[in-house]
Structure 1
């Protein structure tokens, strides 16, 4: 029988089936962060349990670290320093590789894992973070788990799971100018809902997906959890293998039948199929408190629940474009890679953000991305435009009681979630691509990135 990519990875890692029908799956990699890592390792130590194979477990300080230059263990989050120091001690005691605050390889977990070749095609990787599915861009089965599950995976090298259903989402055709992987994800979620992928392992396929660079593929897979999916992934091709080649933890070669057979067979059956015409996708912006409440940037706000309209401050029928914004954010595990920063910088080059923008930040996804951006002069483009240039971390995406935007701000943001409080109490977030964030920061209001050509002209000037 023809097999899906999911079937091949799952079956290769199946250890046993339990009497209840759940299956025991081997876990190749576990990645921890300081928000929950120290607690998991601490409970294991208290119970006298050791990490099964420390070489397969990694940790990073990313969630609550200070992203301002010159940072130390101190963090704006009350009590946050203890999370960092305790994680450091616990990792040292367990023999786990830690990418600490001052490590040149430090960064957001889902950004540095691919950079270092920790995630590999066909592997299983888990982390106590819902956006672990980002790494499915390399043909891995990667998903978020709870802290107690992380303990189980570290001690036994396995997890007990119910086999999910399979779904293939095919983006057919080509994307229009100015449309990105972030827009693909928001278009899908807006059309099928934030639970459209619930209970499924989702394979992204089609011409538009294959045309994406690896950064774009990571963005698309990152948003699979916002679609409700257990995991999102893309069959690895030459782009994926070439991107990983030579990375610190990657193998010397990807030759061999296992690597090269990581694709769904012709005729493989999925439990559900969704087809999307890529040419119909426009730059998207969220208008409510869920990614499913998104629409094309030139659209009108639809009728939603009164609670959502009251919170976001937009009435049904209002034009989304032109809505004033107070702050702008480019970063997060969704859109903070070098390709994201290059595209945003192309729009900002030679321009300034509007005087009404009270705070604008760029937070690179890793210190490696930061160094690359500085080598290309992108940092100067951002600072000349009026953005702050930060160090890597989850700053301003994962609000943990530390640094925030000015009270009551409406933020245009490249993050992945817009529920109340995600970027701080009372902050109203509109999620969009980095290009849309850059264009909106210039305009001082939600703006169409297609109106801002990289050469400094507007769409109207181009047409003339």
Structure 2
């Protein structure tokens, strides 16, 4: 019998039954997270059918998309003046109360972005299947789990049955050799991968990351890697659990303790792809050759090293891609052959479910200590959770950000998706640690350049896109 990949093993252990000859299965889901933005429609449909939530204890709800991130958080500052957003938040609270679902509301000290909170709390554990109404649920593959995003009708089905109709995906192994050089992060690695295989390069696949660089990578870097795998159209991403993950998980709020912990770890150690497992595709990267990455266009695969130039559409053979590049250049107000290093910015943003954890903030603070944000640049740091913010304050990072001229704000999705007051205006150009640079993503007519948090910090103090390896602002 041919060996199985880790993805195949997890799917097999959660398969309730095959659904005829359709190629689909009924998949059991261990846990899910709800937010105020994508859950109202699902609950409304559930109630219209007279159904209840089958397993409330498997569900955690958070407010993260529309809440204010003002520097001071109290009952007054959390009053939403926008009636639509306020109704989304109140509806989530009402639905959670009705069905006995735990909610981290805007004033809960554990509040934060769902994909940050889930790993922070130990809500997702190795071998689990996790689903949520957000495409970046792929993040949780860093926990040795299968995570994927679902739509509102699927959320309804999941709430009612704790299962989903699911079509198993193909297997893609990405092996990363060598070691990341100083100043190079998981964000640079994943941007390099997306540029190599394309924004649809992993469509129909679940990625398993392997190799020397992945084994050496911290869990928060792996979270970034799995988070942005969806930007290559991956249906999931996973890293086999190891000692780094066990050290990260031990002692967290929702993790087994004592003898149960020991038993769980013994089981988790078995979660790996078989040596004889066959992957449908293989991709290799060399981490040691990576430079800091930055995007120039309106898709995450529109990226080059910071010392590179904007590519020429005429060199693209595919007509559709060439036309996409031309449109992106017009939107971004850039020219083929233009250098990205030195391109002036108006805003700098550190945050999002991709890069708002404590290691991200530490990386950025190292480049900000003793420096100031350039005149004319508005800079914001939005931690991924209230617990991350508290830890950063305890380590003195909040003071570093404030002394440098950054706004040190409260937790939430913020300017990543521009669903609250945190957004850009037409023509603004932002160095951003977020996951998407689509047209209008951070505000109508706004221009976004994706990069690591440390690269955002370097751009902020120089007032322009800058190679952090040779940080100078003169």
Supply the RMSD in Å over aligned alpha carbons.
1.5
- Encode CA deviations 1:167-200: one digit per residue, 9 max, x unaligned: 1001111111211000000000001100110000
The alignment status of 1:59 with 2:67, answered yes or no, reads: no
Q: Distance in 2 between matches of 1:317 and 1:259?
A: 49
Pairwise CA distance, 1:30: 1.3
Cα distance change on mapping 1:271 and 1:213 into 2, 3 Å: same
The alignment status of 1:286 with 2:295, answered yes or no, reads: yes
The alignment status of 1:274 with 2:291, answered yes or no, reads: no
Q: Distance in 2 between matches of 1:278 and 1:78?
A: 48
The alignment status of 1:255 with 2:263, answered yes or no, reads: yes
Other structure's SS at 1:255 match:
helix
- Encode CA deviations 1:231-250: one digit per residue, 9 max, x unaligned: 01100101111211121111
- Contact map agreement 1:78 1:402 (CA 8 A) in 2: no
Q: How does 1:11-50 map to 2 (within 5 A)?
A: 11-19=12-20, 20-50=22-52
The alignment status of 1:389 with 2:408, answered yes or no, reads: yes
Q: How does 1:330-345 map to 2 (within 5 A)?
A: 330-345=350-365
Partner of 1:455: none
Partner of 1:232: 237
Q: How does 1:49-448 map to 2 (within 5 A)?
A: 49-68=51-70, 69-72=72-75, 73-75=78-80, 77=82, 79-252=84-257, 253-256=261-264, 258-304=267-313, 305-357=325-377, 359-400=378-419, 402-448=421-467
Q: Distance in 1 between matches of 2:17 and 2:256?
A: 28
- Contact map agreement 1:30 1:150 (CA 8 A) in 2: no
Q: Distance in 1 between matches of 2:202 and 2:300?
A: 13
Unmatched tracts of structure 1, length 5 or more: 453-457
Pairwise CA distance, 1:403: 3.2
Q: Distance in 1 between matches of 2:373 and 2:358?
A: 21
Q: Distance in 1 between matches of 2:161 and 2:121?
A: 24
Other structure's SS at 2:415 match:
coil
Other structure's SS at 2:7 match:
helix
Q: Distance in 1 between matches of 2:360 and 2:178?
A: 22
Pairwise CA distance, 1:116: 0.7
Pairwise CA distance, 1:300: 0.7
Pairwise CA distance, 1:37: 1.8
Q: Distance in 1 between matches of 2:434 and 2:199?
A: 16
Pairwise CA distance, 1:254: 4.8
- Contact map agreement 1:66 1:76 (CA 8 A) in 2: no
Q: Distance in 2 between matches of 1:263 and 1:192?
A: 25
Q: Distance in 1 between matches of 2:82 and 2:225?
A: 30
Other structure's SS at 2:364 match:
helix
Pairwise CA distance, 1:401: 6.0
Q: Distance in 2 between matches of 1:184 and 1:78?
A: 41
Q: Distance in 2 between matches of 1:58 and 1:403?
A: 25
Unmatched tracts of structure 2, length 5 or more: 314-324
Cα distance change on mapping 1:77 and 1:344 into 2, 3 Å: farther
Pairwise CA distance, 1:400: 2.5
Other structure's SS at 2:311 match:
coil
Q: Distance in 1 between matches of 2:326 and 2:167?
A: 38
- Contact map agreement 1:67 1:393 (CA 8 A) in 2: yes
- Contact map agreement 2:352 2:433 (CA 8 A) in 1: yes
- Encode CA deviations 1:351-371: one digit per residue, 9 max, x unaligned: 0011021x2100000000000
Other structure's SS at 1:393 match:
coil
Please give the TM-score of this superposition, normalised by the length of structure 2.
0.93
Q: Distance in 2 between matches of 1:208 and 1:71?
A: 42
- Contact map agreement 2:73 2:107 (CA 8 A) in 1: no
Other structure's SS at 1:356 match:
coil
Q: Distance in 1 between matches of 2:309 and 2:73?
A: 44
Other structure's SS at 2:34 match:
strand
Q: Distance in 2 between matches of 1:406 and 1:308?
A: 18
- Contact map agreement 1:328 1:441 (CA 8 A) in 2: yes
- Contact map agreement 1:451 1:459 (CA 8 A) in 2: no
Q: Distance in 1 between matches of 2:276 and 2:164?
A: 30
Structure 1 segments, 4+ long, off by >6 Å, are none
How many residues are paired up?
Answer: 454
Please give the TM-score of this superposition, normalised by the length of structure 1.
0.95
Pairwise CA distance, 1:251: 1.5
